[in-house]
Amino acid sequence: MTKNVKINQVTVISGKGGTGKSSIIASLAYQLKEISILADADVDAPDLYLIFDPKETEQFSYYGLKKAVIDKELCVECNECRDSCRFEAIKESLTVNDFKCEGCSMCFHVCPENAIKMVDRVSGIYMSSNTRIGKMVHARLNPGEESSGLLVAEVRKLSKKEAEKEKMKLILIDGSPGIGCPVISSLTGADLALVVTEPTLSGYHDLKRILELLKQFNIGGYVIINRFDINERISNDIEEYCKEDFPVIEKIPFNNIFTQAMIQKKTVLEMVSEDVDVIEIQRILRNISNFITSHDKIL
């Protein structure tokens, strides 16, 4: 009997947006393309597709919160539903504003004539695609929709399915910024978390919040300081703060190669340059990739 190979999950997160997280995980995915599946779990504002130009192979509808529909033939216009809706989703005409409806079902329960039904609605899509680095799983939540954490869960499930199909042993997940529901969902089942931060006051503040989240869920992690040299004092403070529980494994200097690579739809590792600073950044990114594959949680 063939033994199932364990599929490991590394989630790359940041306490705030704009730290360079997606650019870094794109390079990691490029370096580890022979053993990994890439998943973009930032379903509210996905951006990895800009770099990898994915070609869809499968697409699935995501059904999030249900919405209320009022049957006008059964409705006696008692206004019980409208009076009870705390989200003001029911108009004077006793029709439902889909953008305001939160799917709470209160109107369904108070309607004396059973004139309201809660029906499924498509809240987004998730898909599997081919890219130049292999399989990528990504998604898009429709504007104004809630329950992004549930869509992230679908991305994770599909990623595992694709990893099994492609016989890959690693899933690299690009998590959302912040500490909300989609971040928690992207960390579920993670073997390791890499936290990308920057040496600014807001970056330091939000780093502390995301590390507290990792502690609560008992997930081991490490920190990468991007653009560390824009404020070396704060970078040193971050290193000191993190050294016991979430050590800093790499510090990446500021360089516009990240912007240049994005403009050209490339990862930083795909850029050809004789600039010693760029070569050093590429070495650091490869070191992070090697760190992932050699970590005892991933072996």
* Structure-model confidence comparison of residues 196 and 178, the more confident one: 196
Asked whether residue 79 carries a pLDDT value surpassing 50, the answer given is: yes
- In 178-270, the DSSP E strands lie at 192-197, 221-226, 248-252
Asked whether residue 84 carries a pLDDT value surpassing 80, the answer given is: yes
Average pLDDT over the chain reads: 93
pLDDT confidence of 299, banded at 50, 70, 90?
low
What Cα–Cα distance (Å) separates residue 220 from each residue in 131, 158, 192? 30, 24, 6
pLDDT tens-digit map of 266-296: 999 999 999 999 999 999 999 999 999 998 7
Give the CATH fold of the 8-62+128-294 domain. Rossmann fold (3.40.50)
Rg value, the chain, Cα? 22
Question: For residue 144, which phi and psi values (nearest 5 degrees)?
Answer: 85, -5
In contact, 25 and 266? CB cutoff 8 Å: no
Asked whether residue 2 carries a pLDDT value surpassing 60, the answer given is: no
pLDDT tens-digit map of 128-187: 999 999 999 999 998 878 778 899 999 999 999 999 999 999 999 999 888 888 999 999
pLDDT tens-digit map of 51-63: 999 999 999 999 9
Residue 77: how many CA atoms within 13 Å on its side-chain side? 5
Asked whether residue 230 carries a pLDDT value surpassing 60, the answer given is: yes
Q: What share of the chain is helix, strand, coil (3-state, %, to 5)?
A: 35, 25, 40
Architecture label for domain 66-120: 2-Layer Sandwich (3.30)
Per-domain residue ranges for the chain?
8-62+128-294, 66-120
pLDDT confidence of 94, banded at 50, 70, 90?
very high
Picking from 248, 261, 181, the residue whose alpha carbon sits closest to that of residue 221 is 248
pLDDT confidence of 245, banded at 50, 70, 90?
very high
d(CA 149, CA 181): 5
Task: Tell me what pLDDT residue 169 has.
Answer: 93
